[in-house]
Amino acid sequence: MSGPSAPPPTTGALRALPHARLATDLRAATLRLARRLRQQKADAALSDGLVASLGWVLQAQPLTIGELAEHEGVAPPSMTRAVDKLVEQGLLRRTVDPADRRRVLLETTDAGRDTVLETRRRRDAWLAPRLAALTPDERRTLVEATRILKELTRS
C-alpha cells in the first residue's frame, strides 16, 4: 500500500509505527472474525469462558486449577467456580495430585471431549463454506497467513 517514496496519507493513530497500516487492518479483521467465531458453540448454556477453559484442558491435560486460571487470564477463585460448573455438568474430572495433595489435577471426561470437538466442528462449519467460496490462490494465502499468525502470538 504505502511505498517508501510517497508519504502515507494517514491520520492520528497510524503515525509513528512501522507497518502501522497492516497492523491496523489486521487488528480490525482479526477482532471481527474472532467475534463471529465465538458466536458458534456446541452448548448455548456454556459461556465463552467455560468453552475456552474446557478446550484448553483437553489440549493440556492433566493440569492444575492454577495453571488453567493463569492460561485463561482469570483469578484462581474464579477458576474454582468455573471448574465446579464443568464438573457438575460431567464435562471435567478433578483428582487430587497424589504427589502434592494441595494440587488438583483436571482432565476432560468423554462428554467433555465430545463437547469441545463439537464446538470446534460448529465453528469450522461456519467457516468452511466461506473458505470454499474463495479462489485456490486465496486459500493458499490463508494457509500461509495462518502459520504467520501463530508466530505472532508465540511471544
Partner DNA sequence: TATTGTTATACTCTATAACTATA
Partner DNA sequence: TATAGTTATAGAGTATAACAATA
The alpha carbon torsion through 112, 117, 123, 125 (nearest 10 deg) reads -140
Distance of CA 91 to CAs 80, 81, 106, 128, Å? 15, 14, 10, 27
Distance (Å, whole) CA 80 – CA 66: 9
Return the residue of 23, 27, 30, 77 that touches DNA, per CB under 7 A.
77
66 counts as binding DNA under rule CB under 7 A: yes
**By CB under 8 A, is residue 146 in contact with a second copy?**
yes
Cα separations in angstroms, 47 against 14, 42, 104, 155: 35, 10, 23, 27
Assess 47 for contact with DNA (CB under 7 A). yes
Task: Determine the Cα–Cα distance for residues 68 and 141; give it in Å rounded to an integer.
Answer: 34
| Alpha-carbon span 55 to 89, nearest angstrom | 15
Q: Is 85 in the site for DNA (CB under 7 A)?
A: yes
Binding mask 9-48 for a second copy (x = CB under 8 A): ---xxx--xxxx-xxxxxxxxxxxxxxxxxx---------
Nearest Cα neighbor of 55 from 104, 47, 155 is 47
- Least CB distance to DNA at residue 87 (A): 9
Least separation, in Å, of the C-beta of 135 and a second copy? 9
Interface with DNA (CB under 7 A), residue from 58, 65, 91, 116: 65
Between 106 and 125, how does the x/- string for binding to a second copy read (CB under 8 A)? -----------xx-xx-xxx
Please tell me what DSSP assigns to residue 2.
-
Residues that bind a second copy (CB under 8 A): 1, 12-14, 17-20, 22-39, 73, 117-118, 120-121, 123-125, 127-128, 130-132, 134, 138-139, 141-146, 148-153, 155
Residues that bind DNA (CB under 7 A): 47, 49-50, 64-67, 73-83, 85, 94, 100-104
